[in-house]
Structure 1
Amino acid sequence: MSSSSSDEVDEALEVMVDQVVDNFIDSVIHPHPNKPTRRAYFERYRKQGHNQLWNDYFKENPTYPPEMFRRRFRMNKPLFLRIVERISNEVPYFQQIRNACGRNRLSALQKSTAAIRMLAY
């Protein structure tokens, strides 16, 4: 094998390495924007959850008796409803708002129920 063919191989290898390094540096300095991807939408059935909560505990003839409510929340129902009303009027987090797609988020009753159940636990 002659030295000239060895020099040609070295030069070709050096050119390829330079290209790979240049491409890598370009990709780090000027990253290509990712293609926008759509996020998967999962229906949360928030309205059904609110209705179920209301039917289970707060309507005129609830599914669960007052004793069960007291055991779960460690307070009576009128006190619970006063707390929900007060925090929904005064704390912005507990107010029901619409998201960017125009769908209602969780109701004040759902948010308060979750928070009070955690405290009762």
Structure 2
Amino acid sequence: MRRHVFLQVVDAISNHDEYFRMRLDATRRRGLSPLQKCTSALCMLAYGTLADFVDKYIRIGETTVVECLQRFVKGICEIFRGEYLRRPNNEDIQRLLWMGEARGFPGMLGSIDCMHWEWKNCPVAWKGQFCRGDHANPTIILEVVASQDLWIWHAFFGTAGSNNDITMLNASNVFNEVLLGTAPTVQYTVNRTQYNMGYYLADDKYPDFAIFVKTISMPQGEKGNYLPDDKNQRERM
């Protein structure tokens, strides 16, 4: 996180919740600063560290760190929900379309993909449904739609790691508006053909729907040229 963004978050959370402001105790000694409290919360969120680990260099007790984390997450949701934690409106869509067209992708609304988040303390009884062959440890899947400037306007988290991108897509609500016919109209022209529905960049794991545009592989060696026939055919398309 860049310095000016971090300081903006610290200032916003301090004005929203007086818990993050520096206070004096009964002996008139200064307490923890807003920087210390916000740093401890962000360390746990970013790196998944334990509460007592932060005490080594920030000098905050374990119970205080846990309380900082809870208040920090609640405050961030209350402060920035209206600006960031929402689906794009018409103005946002026009900005996303402009960004995509400037990069050679007219009609693109963002990139969609899934990642596996390791669950270290997964209960033993649940490991069967949260494990998959290509991951050694239990995981939880996060599905995200992000723009080029890293604005994540859709996040679906919590599905067991034994699932894949297709089952995640069936479970999430990312395309509910499209299915209900209430999605904003997106119009663009490619090769003198007009389209009325935006699309998302995706990898080859996603189905061949009109709303997905996949990458086209360019093999750089002999190994890349020897692919299964069905995959070679899709790439030539």
TM-score w.r.t. structure 2 length?
A: 0.19
Bigger relative contact order, structure 1 or 2, given CA contacts below 8 A and separation 6+? 1
* Structure with greater Cα Rg: 1
Q: Which has the higher strand share?
A: 2
Q: Which has the higher helix share?
A: 1
TM-score w.r.t. structure 1 length?
A: 0.37
